[in-house]
């Protein structure tokens, strides 16, 4: 049986196709939400309804192939399933083929033949340009079948330095976001993270970037030092207490070994996994880790995807990163429900949370030259000036310096779940025009008891880039819950507001202060 949000995912996907949308959709689902179960259900549904259907499920990590195939067999024991992966020692096609992009891209497209559906797990790795293994394979398969459908799945629908993966040029046209981390934690399908202040700080100051990310050799030289590694190991041990399974993310291979050695010197059973760790040794380490014979595993970016150990109860981030995707993938390793505790402690030595925000409200950045200009309003003459301006060019007003920000890391910083609850009696939707940008948006006001202050929420559905895409996805989710047919692809804002005002509001909302505005984090109907 699928969980409620998993079935909702499939329903919204089918609706997306039935609405006649152009291009290919991407499904955004939090890490640990069970994407493999959804994939299995989609595959079974397609092949049983249309027996001639040929499906290709692609990913880049053999562990994900194994996990997806296992769930496929659980869901449908008699599935016509083939696995094509050199890393798994199998090169067999069937009606449903799970394979690695590295292996399948080497096959002659004529030999691959006709496919009707391609699913891509961790699809944020698909190049934003018309190049790369995924794009080349999709282009080749489309020449064979112009009606080919592609469905992407990811927890992080954005790419470093390029914003949302739907930003042009893009393979994916739209994002379907049927659930959220907040909902899954509320329903206890995920376990929350609890971050703690660290006395030791790891800085990337002075380290150059390449392709938007820190250059690893420079980063390792800046971070991997005895005077840092020793205090880091001491602090991990103190903060861990009696926790059982520690996962440590390091900058590079040598850094991973050095942190391991610091832990071993302090009496902690520890091991290291890198990209060069032999297959048998890696399997043995992971087995010992899951069995509790090893307390800590250090790694250099190899246990971010395809690694599933629910009992991880401490994560240490020793690696500064400019990648929001990498941050979410690292943090997500600790969010599986556990048998011995209700949370996972996260030690952010590298300032990753501060750089990217809570995992429930990630700012992925944007592509250069897109999105809205960062501006502010002069309080003296109402001129619109750039956010960085110290003096208004029109009247000479001197803007006060911004207040110094201090990163105070605690549970609510990493999760973004510090909320207030309101029992909603009614809501009011209306078209709203920003005084700053002049752009249209939707505004909804939630009303509770007479003593409750109304909560205003703004949906920037007409904006460009990530903000607009995120707002349109949220609006679709809200309208779907309350039974409205309002659709931002086909409806003007006045009509959309009228349609929503005829629908029943959620019974309860959870919200939190977000600057001078509110952010609604959860809505419950019924």
Positions of the chain with pLDDT under 70: 130, 363-389, 392-396, 402-413, 436-437, 465-466, 487-491, 514-516
pLDDT value, residue 131: 73
pLDDT in tens, 167-200: 877 889 989 988 888 889 888 999 999 888 789 9
Domain with CATH 3.40.50.300 in the chain: 8-179, 193-356
pLDDT in tens, 363-414: 666 554 444 444 566 666 555 556 666 776 655 677 787 654 444 455 556 8
- The answer to whether 26 and 165 are in contact (CB under 8 A) is yes
**CATH superfamily of this structure's domain 8-179:** P-loop containing nucleotide triphosphate hydrolases (3.40.50.300)
pLDDT value, residue 489: 60
pLDDT value, residue 385: 58
Q: Is the dihedral of CA 437, 173, 128, 123 positive or negative?
A: positive
Could you confirm whether domain 193-356 is CATH 3.40.50.300?
yes
- Candidates 412, 418, 514; CA nearest to 458 is 514
**What residue has token string 């509320």?**
186
pLDDT in tens, 29-71: 998 899 999 999 999 999 999 999 999 999 988 888 998 999 9
- The answer to whether 350 and 321 are in contact (CB under 8 A) is yes
Q: What share of the chain is helix, strand, coil (3-state, %, to 5)?
A: 30, 25, 45
What CA–CA distances, in Å, run from 70 to 82, 307, 365, 431? 12, 14, 36, 48
Instruction: Please list the alpha-helical segments (H only) found in 343-387.
Output: 352-356
Rounded to a whole number of angstroms, the distance between the first and last alpha carbons of the chain is 23
**What residue has token string 């914003």?**
163
pLDDT value, residue 377: 63
Q: What does pTM read for this prediction?
A: 0.78
pLDDT value, residue 382: 52
Angle, CA of 17, 55 and 151, to the nearest 5°: 40
Q: Which two tokens stand for residue 526?
A: 């019924």
pLDDT value, residue 368: 42
């Amino acid at each position: 049986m699928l969980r409620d949000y998993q079935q909702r995912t499939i329903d919204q996907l089918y609706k997306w196709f039935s609405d006649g949308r152009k291009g290919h959709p991407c499904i955004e689902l939090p890490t640990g939400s069970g994407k493999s179960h959804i994939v299995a259900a989609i595959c079974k549904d397609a092949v049983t309804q249309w027996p001639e259907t040929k499906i290709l499920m692609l990913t880049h990590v053999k562990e994900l192939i194994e996990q997806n195939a296992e769930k496929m067999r659980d869901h449908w024991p008699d599935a016509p399933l083939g696995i094509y992966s050199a890393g798994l020692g199998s090169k067999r096609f069937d009606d449903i083929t799970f394979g690695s992009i590295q292996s399948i891209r080497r096959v002659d497209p004529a030999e691959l033949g006709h496919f009707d559906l391609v699913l891509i797990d961790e699809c944020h790795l698909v190049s934003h340009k018309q190049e790369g293994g995924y794009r080349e394979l999709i282009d080749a398969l489309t020449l064979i079948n112009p009606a080919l459908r592609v469905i992407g799945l990811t927890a992080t629908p954005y790419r470093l330095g390029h914003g949302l993966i739907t930003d042009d040029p893009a393979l994916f046209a739209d994002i379907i976001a049927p659930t959220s981390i907040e909902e899954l934690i509320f329903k206890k399908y995920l376990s929350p993270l609890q971050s703690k202040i660290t006395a030791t700080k790891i800085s990337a100051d002075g380290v150059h970037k390449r392709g938007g990310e820190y250059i690893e050799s420079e980063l390792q030289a800046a971070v991997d030092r005895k005077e840092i590694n020793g205090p880091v190991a001491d602090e991990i041990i103190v903060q861990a207490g009696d926790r059982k399974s520690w996962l440590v993310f390091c900058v590079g291979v040598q850094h991973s070994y050095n942190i391991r050695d610091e832990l071993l010197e302090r009496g902690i059973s520890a091991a290291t996994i890198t990209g060069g760790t032999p297959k048998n040794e890696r399997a043995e380490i992971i087995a010992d880790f899951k069995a509790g014979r090893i307390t800590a595993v250090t790694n250099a970016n190899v246990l971010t995807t395809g690694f599933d150990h629910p009992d991880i109860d401490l994560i240490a981030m020793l690696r500064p990163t400019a990648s929001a995707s990498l941050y979410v993938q690292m943090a997500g390793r600790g969010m599986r429900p556990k048998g011995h505790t209700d949370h996972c402690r996260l030690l952010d030595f590298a300032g990753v949370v501060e750089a990217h925000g809570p995992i429930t409200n990630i700012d992925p950045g944007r592509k250069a030259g897109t999105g809205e200009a960062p501006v502010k309003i002069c309080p003296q003459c109402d001129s619109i000036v750039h956010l960085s301006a110290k003096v208004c060019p029109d009247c000479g007003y001197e803007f006060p310096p911004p207040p110094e920000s201090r990163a105070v890391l605690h549970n609510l910083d990493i999760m973004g779940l510090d909320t207030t609850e309101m029992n909603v009696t009614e809501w009011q939707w209306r078209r709203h025009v920003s005084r700053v940008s002049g752009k249209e948006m939707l505004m909804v006001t939630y009303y509770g008891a007479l003593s409750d202050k109304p909560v205003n929420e703004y949906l920037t559905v007409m904006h460009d880039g990530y903000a607009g895409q995120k707002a349109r996805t949220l609006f679709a989710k809200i309208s779907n819950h309350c039974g409205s047919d309002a659709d931002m692809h086909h409806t003007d804002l006045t009509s959309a507001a009228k349609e929503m005002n005829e629908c029943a509001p959620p019974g309860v909302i959870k919200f939190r202060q977000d600057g001078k505005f509110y952010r609604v984090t959860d809505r419950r109907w019924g």
